[in-house]
């Protein structure tokens, strides 16, 4: 009887359970939790997104799909979850950002773009015959000289963060950030801290040493000085990984 009782609230995105839960949203979180790790860190100098790609087969070209993408010249996003859902939402965000520039002759505010993505995601939690998007986003950029960092979950809710992670190992990495985060660190140190956090979390989970392949790490940064979001090259990522391995930091 209890299983039937549960199933009645389990089958519809538009129905709350008696304790205020929407089960389909909870299910949509599962591909996010199982997705490859994406991290964001905001510091005084700017903001960074760092993500790990997972290679499911030796025949897969690990360079695609991207995990950190440019939405506008001053905004980038990283995601965890279904890449197909992410692609659709990012394409919509790009069009929205360009439309804003054409209409107002200015860069769109990072929070305004984040809100737009959240609005689209939230709409899919209200209508029968649809499902929630199975993806969460970290959005980072510079608005009027100020670094901004947001995380948007599957419900469309978004929150501003100093440091945040989505995907696998999220709790362990969050705990690491709580201990090590300082806003005065440089952008390079922010990327290095994210990789330290990921390595420690993986080592604790897998009970083995972890070495990073530069081809499987993506990073993008936006600096106050330029106001632009740029992807780091593989050589730049390799240099930061070499510093991590050479320092013996954990």
215 domain residue, yes or no? yes
Query: Is 14 within the bounds of a domain?
Result: no
Query: Per the domain annotation, does 225 fall within a domain?
Result: yes
- Return d(Cα 50, Cα 67) in angstroms, integer: 9
DSSP string, 55-92: -SSTTS-TT-S-SEEEEETTEEEEEEE-HHHHHHHHHH
- Which residue has tokens 């990921």? 198
Supply the pLDDT for residue 21.
86
Q: Left, alpha or beta for 144 (phi > 0: left; psi -120 to 50: alpha)?
A: left
Beta bridge partners of 214: none
Is pTM, for the whole model, over 0.85? yes
**Contact predicate 59/52, CB 8 Å:** no
Q: Classify residue 24: in a domain, yes or no.
A: no
Give the whole-angstrom CA distance, residue 75 versus residue 168.
Answer: 24
| Domain presence at residue 5 | no
| Average pLDDT, 10 consecutive residues per value, the chain (250 residues) | 55 82 91 96 98 85 85 98 96 98 97 98 88 96 97 97 97 97 97 97 93 93 98 95 76
Contact 62, 77 (CB under 8 A): no
Residue 6 lies in a domain: no
User: Range of 210's domain?
Assistant: 30-54+67-245
Q: Which two tokens stand for residue 246?
A: 């050479």
The answer as to whether 218 is a domain residue is: yes
**Rounded distance between C-alpha atoms, residue 125 and residue 205, angstroms:** 33
Looking at residue 80, what is its pLDDT? Answer: 97
Residue 156 lies in a domain: yes
Contacts within 8 Å (CB) and 24+ apart, 236-242: 238/214, 240/188, 240/191, 240/192, 240/195, 241/195, 241/212, 241/214, 241/217
SS3 content of the chain, % helix, strand, coil (to 5): 40, 25, 35
Total domain count, the chain: 1
The CATH number assigned to the domain holding 147 equals 3.60.20.10
Query: What local confidence, expressed as pLDDT, does residue 60 receive?
Result: 80
């Amino acid at each position: 009887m209890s299983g039937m009782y549960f199933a009645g609230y389990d089958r519809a995105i538009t129905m709350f359970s008696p304790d205020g839960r929407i089960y389909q949203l909870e299910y949509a979180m599962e591909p996010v939790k199982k997705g490859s790790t994406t991290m964001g860190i905001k510091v005084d100098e700017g903001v960074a997104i760092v993500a790990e790609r997972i290679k499911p087969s030796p025949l897969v070209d690990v360079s695609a799909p991207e995990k950190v993408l440019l939405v506008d010249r001053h905004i980038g996003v990283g995601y965890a979850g279904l890449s197909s859902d992410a692609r659709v939402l990012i394409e919509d965000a790009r069009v929205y950002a360009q439309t804003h520039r054409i209409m107002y002759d200015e860069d769109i505010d990072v929070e305004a773009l984040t809100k737009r993505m959240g609005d689209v995601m939230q709409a899919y939690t209200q209508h029968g015959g649809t499902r929630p998007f199975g993806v969460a986003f970290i959005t980072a950029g510079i608005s009027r000289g100020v670094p901004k960092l947001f995380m948007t979950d599957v419900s469309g809710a978004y929150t501003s963060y100093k440091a945040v992670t989505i995907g696998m190992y999220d709790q362990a990495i969050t705990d690491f950030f709580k201990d090590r985060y300082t806003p005065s660190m440089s952008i390079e140190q922010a990327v290095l801290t994210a990789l330290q956090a990921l390595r420690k979390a993986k080592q604790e989970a897998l009970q083995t040493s972890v070495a990073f392949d530069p081809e499987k790490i993506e990073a993008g940064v936006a600096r106050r000085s330029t106001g632009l979001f740029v992807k780091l090259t593989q050589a730049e990522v390799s240099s930061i990984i070499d510093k991590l391995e050479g320092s013996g930091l954990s």
